[in-house]
Structure 1
Amino acid sequence: MPTDNITENLGIPVPDLWKGAHRDDRARPRSRQRLLGPSSIGLCRRRAAYEVHGTWPTDLADNMHAAILGTWLHEGILRVLREQYGACTELELTDGVILGHADAYWAPDHLHDPAARTPQTRDLGVVEDVKTKSTRALDVVVRQGPSRAEWFQVHLYAHLLRTGGLRDHPGLPTGEPLPVDVVRLRYVGREYGQVVVHQRPYDEDVTKQALAWAEDILASPEPEAMPRDLDGPGLSIICDNCPFKTACWNLGQLPDDRAPQTILAEDTAAVTEALRAYADAAEVESASKKRKAKARKMLDAADAGTYGAFKLSWSGGNPRPPEPDPDAMIRVLEGLSIGIPMRPGGRTSRTIGVSRVPEAN
């Protein structure tokens, strides 16, 4: 089925853009690598184990348009960093176990000629990773900062550079340690081009944590020996787009009316723990809703604007157009002695009830 919408068919074949784009994306070296990549470290241990053990993906989606648009935007960003700001881009880095491609690296100006130092010389080595994000995902970065996995990734690039992991580069010495003093994450919004930058000094402790995480994956006998670190399909966008989603969550064996997460409640102890988590969360949620409702009432007359660290804005409040009145329609039909059209009712949604059993005296 074509993915392109052709408004006027003149009998001339039109190449299907997205089919070709998906074929191209799957042929990229990063899509076919089997060594553990820095971008997989710190995310989900089972997913990383599937990659390390060479498991064939069970879910190759043909609707990853946003991700492919991000790849195209990413290539343009790296070209600008390279041509306008002198960055070395797409550096292949490996220690024989981890294989990654650092987006951008700026070596100190005096790397090759210490005698050429001037007051304007850049003394620090900087490695940067570029990430394209939706507006919603970018807002999470603004509010919460980079994730642990993202800091792991850029620190591992720095580690590989510092330990001589650079391979086959025309402008930098390969196989030799290169200085990295600063790690940087640059986020670019796919819709409107917003840019958010986080940078920090290189931290050896973060690298040690990332390497320890990777060692656990590499020591795993099989993917199923590793835990699922994310919440699963329907609750995690990463799980929704995971190429191993079906294998990880046994989707082919689940009834259509059951959530994938039901496989986690495999015994009485697991069900009891889920009930405890539900009850605890419900109590916190109830208290939070009451606090939120009171705060909303307090703000009802406040003008839009900035108040300290918060920005208040209002939307809505516009008049609605008239809507059909189902009750009036029924009365009209009944007055005309016309039967009311019905459709199958189906089933009501199941409602869960969780309460705490009183402790025995």
Structure 2
Amino acid sequence: MTVDAQTAPAQAGAGAVDLDSAAQVRAHISMAFDAAFTAATFDGQMAREDLFGLTMSGIGGCIRAAAYALAGAEPSDPELAYAYQGYPQALLGTWQHAGLLPWLAQVLGGDAEGVAIEQRVQLRVHPDVITGALDLWWARQRLLLDLKTVGEHKLSTVYRQRWPFHPHRLQVAGYALAKHQAGTTPRWIVWAYLDRASGDKIPVVEEFTPTLAGIVLERIGEVQWWRDHDPDQAPREERGPGLSLACDGCAWLRRCWGDDAVPGSAGPQTAVYGATDEAVDYAYNEYKRLGKVASDAEKEREFWRVVFERRPEWTPAGRWQHYTGRTREEDDPWAALKVLRALGFAVPQRTKKGSLYVVPATRHRPKK
């Protein structure tokens, strides 16, 4: 690894440092970790895919961002794309790929089985060529595998749906279609989801079919249409800064959401969609409608839970089975509150923001 002059300012404590207290040690080590992540990001930038062109990993992302990328639009916020690649979770995933894939290839038979890793591919959809790098190709089995490192929440979602996330499905199916165009048609696609923290894994398998190839081509065709007409009018498929990590790391953040857009800060959503009575009335209606949808869905979930909960755990029924998480002890804040008050201690207070209500315009404002 090299750290050049460009990254040097990010280093924590390049010279002698006095660490005279535990607090100073904690602060310094924390800064050192941040600087190490930053340095690692810059060190690996040149080896990464083009951050501003459309690559296979961008096919399933926001269609407006994809249209900008395919059009070669000038990024309004290029530094955000570099910062996004430097998020600790992204770097940890990159390092896990680098450490695990060579061993996985060896276990699957290595050269004798025609196993290759980090193979560059090109998908040609006239007049464009979209590049990417697939994780693992097992030639003897005609099997294409992509390692997806995720957090616990996303792994739980994969466990429930037993299907890859839609952007991941398009990305890896794009690799498969590129292999087909190059003369070798994959039989199997595997999305190998891995929990970055625990190492838990879920392989999701799908056969590569003309239908799946058609889904990829249809998506790229849609991106090309918006590129050729007006990328600025392409649908936004993310919720904007402060609500979407993808927007917070987008190289076209301000071009898409306005000059006042700041990563991590919600607000441009109002400026973009308008503050007229008509626009706000529509927002009110959507807020109320989705609240009812969520409430109705929760009632439905409760009904179906009652149907299956008496069935023994870990007893498959078709594609599904159920289990209950580990029972554990946890703090009881209400009991603690009673103890504090009984002993005469002052109970610490904190400000709690009031709940948001959307009510008919004819209702009078309540007294506070």
Is the helix fraction higher in 1 or 2? 2
Report the count of equivalent residues.
312
Distance 2:46 2:251 in 1: 15
One-letter code of the match for 2:99?
A: G
Distance 1:319 1:45, change over 3 A: closer
1:1-361 equivalences under 5 Å are: 9=17, 16-30=35-49, 32=50, 34-52=52-70, 53-56=72-75, 57=78, 59=80, 60-61=82-83, 64-85=87-108, 86=110, 87-94=115-122, 95=124, 97-108=129-140, 124-144=141-161, 145-164=163-182, 177-219=183-225, 220=227, 221-250=229-258, 252=260, 259-266=267-274, 269-288=278-297, 309-313=321-325, 314-318=327-331, 322=336, 351-355=356-360
Return the offset for 1:253: 5.5
User: How big is each residue's C-alpha offset from its partner over 1:319-360, in whole Å with a ceiling of 9 and x where there is no partner?
Assistant: 5685565xx6789xxxxxxxxxx99x9x96683424499xxx
Report the Cα distance in structure 2 between the residues aligned to 1:232 and 1:192, rounded to whole angstroms: 31
Paired residue type of 2:56: P
1:200-239 deviation digits (Å, cap 9, x = unpaired): 1102122222222212223414531211012223333333
For the 8 Å contact 1:25–1:68, the answer to whether it is kept is no
Gaps of 5+ in 2: 1-8, 20-31, 363-368
Q: Give the share of equivalent positions with the same residue, in percent.
A: 24
Mapped contact 1:129–1:186 kept (Cα < 8 A): yes
Contact 2:284 2:358 (C-alpha < 8 Å) held by counterparts: no
For residue 105 of structure 1, report the CA deviation from its aligned partner. 0.9
Distance of 1:131 and 1:34 partners within structure 2: 22
Q: How many Å apart are 1:265 and its aligned residue? A: 2.9
Change (3 A) 1:3 1:131: farther
Q: Does the CA-based 8 Å contact 1:90-1:102 persist in structure 2?
A: yes
Q: What is the one-letter code of the residue matched to 1:106?
A: W
* Structure 1 ranges of 4+ moved more than 6 A: 291-296, 328-331
Question: TM-score scaled by structure 2?
Answer: 0.69
Q: TM-score, normalised by structure 1?
A: 0.71
- C-alpha change, 1:46 and 1:349, in structure 2 (3 Å) is farther
Q: Contact 2:67/2:224 (CA < 8 Å) preserved in 1?
A: yes
Whole-angstrom CA distance in 2 between matches of 1:159 and 1:253: 37
How far does residue 137 in structure 1 lie from its aligned partner after superposition? 1.6
Superposed CA RMSD in Å reads: 4.2
CA contact (8 A) 1:184 1:199 kept: yes
Taking a change above 3 Å as real, the CA distance of residues 106 and 38 of structure 1, as seen in their structure-2 partners, is same
Q: Computing the radius of gyration over CA atoms, which structure comes out larger, 1 or 2? A: 1
Instruction: Determine if contact 1:82/1:89 at 8 Å carries over to the other structure.
Output: yes
Alpha-carbon deviations, 1:83-112, whole Å to 9, x = none?
33222111111135111111111123xxxx
| Equivalent position SS for 1:128 | strand
What is the alpha-carbon distance in structure 2 between the residues aligned to residue 128 and residue 271 of structure 1? 46
